[in-house]
Amino acid sequence: MKKGRETTIDRYRRYLQLEKSQAANTIEAYLSDVAKLVAFLEPLGKSTLDATSDDLSAFLADLADVGIHPRSRARILSSLRSYYSFLRLDDYISENPTDPLHSPALGRHLPDVLSLDEIDAMINAIDLSQPEGQRNRAMIEVMYSCGLRVSELCSLRFSDLYLSEEFMRVTGKGSKQRLVPVSSRAVSELQAYFLERSRVNIRPGYEDFVFVSERRGKSLSRITVFHIVKELVAVAGIAKQVSPHTLRHSFATHLLEGGANLRVIQSMLGHESISTTEIYTHIDRTRLREEIIEHHPRNNPQRRQKR
């Protein structure tokens, strides 16, 4: 049964919100990609409901012609697959035109990884005489030891912490929650930070957020965390392209180098698909071998004794 395009888009938005529990940013990205297809089809006198596989192939070819990166084209195709799966599920169409389509070859992208010494150099570059020093120390340690996304770090709340059991509850993409072990070192850094945090004037509504701004009394923003990481990398003299996500990559790589099962890493990172996690199997295993003895460096008692 065919229905108006706007109604279709509106219902697809509600489907993503209510049935798929997708994050707002993800929903907007999906709808933006569908809008690109709508703009392509309009001069052809077609809507998304009567587009064929050939139309979609032409659309993807057009994206390639204007220089859109294969990774971006693959993401757009993924968005279209989601949209057309919804249309098929709700009987707007009888066949899914994305079924015959293949994702563009992406090549292999290996993310930058920090060694344990480089991570320690970042932490040691923090000036503990500054009001935010211990907060930043705890923040870097938690991001690395727990493999958190920057958004997960910024949204972390006291009600998510179970430090006596050395676990935390993390809310990831699509509001999906997972339990993540917390290293004893991260627990120690957090407890030291809490003493400093008790002196901060927290604004109403932000009392439950773990990481807050010393000056504003509000939860930290992603931009602030990016700035802090960039500054520490510069002070530590690390000549790599580093972002908060690099700490997450390093966490996963160190676990894999230590022998952790890929499914365990998938669970820890909150990846929905194992294929997302498998990128870490392609990282050169010789780079970190000398530093990894147990499944995670923070669990190496010999290294802890040297500190």
pTM of the shown model: 0.58
**Each residue's pLDDT expressed in tens, for the chain with a length of 307 residues:** 344 445 788 899 999 998 888 888 889 999 999 999 998 898 888 999 999 998 898 888 878 766 677 888 889 999 999 999 999 998 899 999 999 888 776 655 556 789 999 999 999 999 999 999 999 999 999 999 999 988 899 999 999 999 999 999 998 877 888 989 999 999 999 999 999 999 999 999 999 999 999 889 999 988 889 889 999 999 999 998 888 888 988 998 888 777 777 777 888 888 776 666 666 665 544 344 434 334 556 655 555 555 5
- Domains, the chain, ranges and CATH? 5-89 (1.10.150.130), 116-306 (1.10.443.10)
Residues with catalytic function: 149, 173, 245, 248, 271, 280
What's the CA gap between 80 and 148, in Å, rounded? 29
Judge residue 288's burial from the number of C-beta atoms within 10 Å of its C-beta, 0-12 exposed, 13-18 middle, 19 or more buried: buried
Under 8 Å between Cβ of 291 and 115: yes
Using CA atoms, how far residue 201 sits from 189, 208, 216, in Å, is 21, 13, 8
Q: How far is CA 58 from CA 61, 64, 95, in A?
A: 5, 10, 18
How is residue 165 annotated by DSSP? T
